[in-house]
Structure 1
Amino acid sequence: MNARRSEIIQIVNQRYRVSVTELAQHTGVSEVTIRQDLNYLEQLGYIKRIHGAAVAVDNDDIAAQMEVRFGTKQKLAERAAALVEPGETVMIEGGSTNALLARVLAERGDITLVTSSAYVAHLLRNTNADIILLGGVYQHQGESLVGSLTRYCIEKVHFSTAFIGIDGFHQDTGFTSRDMMRADVVEAILAKQKRNIILTDASKFGLIFPTTLGGSIDAFDMLVTGKDAPESDIHYLSQQDIELVTI
């Protein structure tokens, strides 16, 4: 994906609704080019087209997210699963790629899954996996559990590895989340000081959302992402105290 289209995704996500005219003025290209960009981005599921403008998609719908770049996310999930040893207890925080990872691990049948995602628990209902679903306040759209009870459950349960989803990465802000309540759950996971792995496809690069996760990049041990992530970001991350796995 070129830099202009990545910038369009970021602008639309930040402002929710942006007209074609505004995008053309901002990027310095014609409205015809912007319409072509928006058609392309809508086909990939990054934005929605309306008359004369683009609007952000509902990124809290995990099932809808999973349909976007499914093949890439499945490969990332399979690579991440190879990082988990038999007998481990694994925390799955949330996100569409992490949901696919949970399914791969559940089908293996040799680990215990802990999750704050009701969606993940429901996705695995027909498997024989051992699943611990944490309590908390139920977020209807994203099907996540959040709040003080979720934090308490995380403090009391034991796991060796945690897989965490993000909404954006930018060199100026680090890893970010659009949802402050989910970000609070991530902070509780990081406080356990276990092996913390971010699993995300490359579409999140270049995007900024309100809440920084972990305070700094070195709060995480590893990032698993696609080789199509921007070269400048991969180079930047390679200089940080985080292990990179790209496929």
Structure 2
Amino acid sequence: MNARHQNIMQHVNLKRRVSVSELSQLCGVSEVTIRQDLTLLEQRSYLKRAHGFALAIESDDLDTRMMSNFALKQKLAQFAASLVEDGETIFIESGSSNALLARYLAEHKKVTLITVSSYIAHLLKESECEVILLGGMYQKKSETMVGPLTRMCIQQVNFSKAFIGIDGYLPENGFTGRDMMRADVVNAVLAKGMENIIITDSSKFGKINSNPLGTVNAFSRVITDDGLTQDFADSLVQQGITVNTVAEG
């Protein structure tokens, strides 16, 4: 996704419905070019098109979350993808930043992606990337597989790295998640002892949720934005975690 595409996505996400002519003026290119951009972005499930307009996707909560702070999440995804080599088998949990990571890997790396997210699997339906969607009980709102069958599936597959999302972190409590069933899936992944990497924006630090995500030392790396405070960064480093930040601006 180039800079113009990101500019289009930010504007569409802000206004929800934007005309082709307005986008043409905003980006300084012809309406023909904008229509070509919108066709490509629609094919990649980033937005919808109507006659003369671009529309933000509002089909479910995860779509909305993906479009929120889109440019930053794209940067996080690109940095995370730089840690992956061709030929690897990667587990990607769920969530908006992880969905963008999956998209980027599918477009730029020759990898096998394992996921519990039907949303991510759907995003990759046009890619050449090998996708393994694990089974289980379908949690409709998050479009994620959860439950005992999902844990069994995780035990039967092998991967070199796992990318995990979080909902909170405090030094005295560690990493936490909002949803009990999804936290259970994450803990099944952590139990395999692979290289576990958190990808999240800095707003999650300083928050606490009811469901612990393993122990802090189960994770090797945190990828976040430069809004992370020095106190939280120091706390993570002291616990043996590599911290990578990308510029938000």
Hey, what does 2:13 align to over in structure 1?
none
Output the CA distance in 1 between the equivalents of 2:94 and 2:117: 6
Output the CA distance in 2 between the equivalents of 1:182 and 1:243: 24
Q: How does 1:153-192 map to 2 (within 5 A)?
A: 153-192=153-192
Following superposition, the deviation at residue 109 of structure 1 comes to 4.2
1:119 is paired with a residue of what secondary structure? helix
User: Aligned letter for 1:101?
Assistant: L
Following superposition, the deviation at residue 246 of structure 1 comes to 1.2
Output the CA distance in 1 between the equivalents of 2:61 and 2:152: 26
Hey, what does 2:134 align to over in structure 1?
134
Following superposition, the deviation at residue 90 of structure 1 comes to 0.2
Hey, what does 1:242 align to over in structure 2?
241
Instruction: Give aligned-pair identity as a percent.
Output: 53
Output the CA distance in 1 between the equivalents of 2:204 and 2:61: 16
TM-score (norm 1): 0.74
Hey, what does 1:53 align to over in structure 2?
none
Hey, what does 1:76 align to over in structure 2?
76
**Preserved contact between residue 109 and residue 128 of structure 1 (Cα < 8 Å):** no
Q: How does 1:103-118 map to 2 (within 5 A)?
A: 103-118=103-118
Hey, what does 2:123 align to over in structure 1?
123
C-alpha offsets along residues 56-77 of structure 1, whole Å, 9 cap, x if unaligned? xxxx922111111111110000
Hey, what does 2:210 align to over in structure 1?
210
TM-score (norm 2): 0.73
Following superposition, the deviation at residue 183 of structure 1 comes to 0.6
Output the CA distance in 2 between the equivalents of 1:246 and 1:221: 14
Following superposition, the deviation at residue 120 of structure 1 comes to 0.5
Q: List structure 1 runs of 4+ shifted beyond 4 angstroms.
A: none
**Preserved contact between residue 164 and residue 196 of structure 1 (Cα < 8 Å):** yes
C-alpha offsets along residues 136-172 of structure 1, whole Å, 9 cap, x if unaligned? 0001110010001101110001111000011111223
User: Aligned letter for 1:187?
Assistant: N
C-alpha offsets along residues 4-28 of structure 1, whole Å, 9 cap, x if unaligned? xxxxxxxxxxxxxxxxxxxxxxxxx
Following superposition, the deviation at residue 229 of structure 1 comes to 1.1
Hey, what does 2:230 align to over in structure 1?
231
C-alpha offsets along residues 19-67 of structure 1, whole Å, 9 cap, x if unaligned? xxxxxxxxxxxxxxxxxxxxxxxxxxxxxxxxxxxxxxxxx92211111
1:154 is paired with a residue of what secondary structure? helix
Hey, what does 1:51 align to over in structure 2?
none
Following superposition, the deviation at residue 212 of structure 1 comes to 1.0
Output the CA distance in 1 between the equivalents of 2:63 and 2:207: 21
Output the CA distance in 2 between the equivalents of 1:229 and 1:203: 8
Q: How does 1:19-30 map to 2 (within 5 A)?
A: none
Output the CA distance in 2 between the equivalents of 1:92 and 1:227: 23
Following superposition, the deviation at residue 238 of structure 1 comes to 1.8
Output the CA distance in 2 between the equivalents of 1:109 and 1:218: 28
The aligned length equals 187
